[in-house]
Amino acid sequence: MKLSTYSLVVVALLISADLCFSQNYEWSGSISVGDNDNVKNISADNSGNVYAVGTFTGLVDFDLGADTVNLDAGTFSRTFFAKYDSHGVIQ
């Protein structure tokens, strides 16, 4: 498991386009990692939505809270695209 890859995701999720200028802490979260996880790109829009795209194998929970939004790629490498609103809620 590449925990450091998802540490980068958490840090990037903290910084959306609006938050970069205000420097205010808004939210953070952690994605439960599977195997061979790779975040390829993270971006934010003007509304504060955060987008992450990458690949993974195994079981991953993309919900940042207590709920679960699991995707299971099994032994195959799969691509993911995740969207979180300005409060960190998966869309």
Distance CA(49)–CA(23), nearest Å, equals: 16
What is this structure's pTM? 0.66
Smallest CA-to-CA distance from 37 within 67, 61, 69 is with 61
Smallest CA-to-CA distance from 86 within 6, 36, 22, 1 is with 22
pLDDT, tens digit, for every residue of 21-42? 556 777 776 666 666 677 788 8
Q: What's the pLDDT score for residue 54?
A: 86
H helix count then E strand count, the chain: 2, 5
Choose between 89 and 32: higher pLDDT: 89
Average pLDDT for 60-78: 84
